Amino acid sequence: MSNNCTQYNYEQFLDELKLRYKNVKNGYTYDFKTQIEPFLLLSKNIADCIDNCNLDTRFTYKIKDKVMNTITELAMSVHVERFSKKLFNEMYKYISHWFFYLVERDYT
């Protein structure tokens, strides 16, 4: 794991993804400059934390790259009302799996 991110940071990010997706589905429109742009910066910071994680036999370079891309893609997509719930759930589960793998790996 990175020195900059903790389990709490990952959990907060995941909670915010869920909240934003739910709000958009309920008709809320986020302002790009004041709400979306800061969230995208946060997602970039989370992706950077992942980039700083050490590789192992399961968490390979290819997986790391895919996790980072999924984080940034999902951070944008949760602001689009027509974004598929099925795709949201798949992407959300994918990054949460790796977040918790990295946290557990580094704390056990």
Question: Looking at the domain assignment, is residue 64 inside a domain?
Answer: yes
Instruction: Specify the pTM.
Output: 0.92
Record the tokens describing residue 9, joined without a space: 């940071």
Question: Looking at the domain assignment, is residue 1 inside a domain?
Answer: no
- Which are the contacts of 77, defined by CB distance < 8 A and separation ≥ 6? 83, 87, 88, 91
Kindly list the distances between the CA atom of residue 61 and the CA atoms of 38, 75, 93, in Å, as whole numbers in the listed order: 27, 21, 19
Question: Looking at the domain assignment, is residue 30 inside a domain?
Answer: yes
Question: Looking at the domain assignment, is residue 2 inside a domain?
Answer: no
Question: Looking at the domain assignment, is residue 91 inside a domain?
Answer: yes
**Domain boundaries, position 42:** 7-107
Residue 46 contacts residue 9 (beta carbons within 8 Å):
yes
CATH (domain of 53): 1.20.120.440
Cα dihedral across residues 94, 97, 103, 106: positive or negative: negative
Question: Looking at the domain assignment, is residue 58 inside a domain?
Answer: yes
Q: How many domains does the chain have?
A: 1
Tens-digit pLDDT profile for the chain (108 aa)? 444 688 999 999 999 999 999 999 999 999 999 999 999 999 999 999 999 999 999 999 999 999 999 999 999 999 999 999 999 999 999 999 999 999 998 875
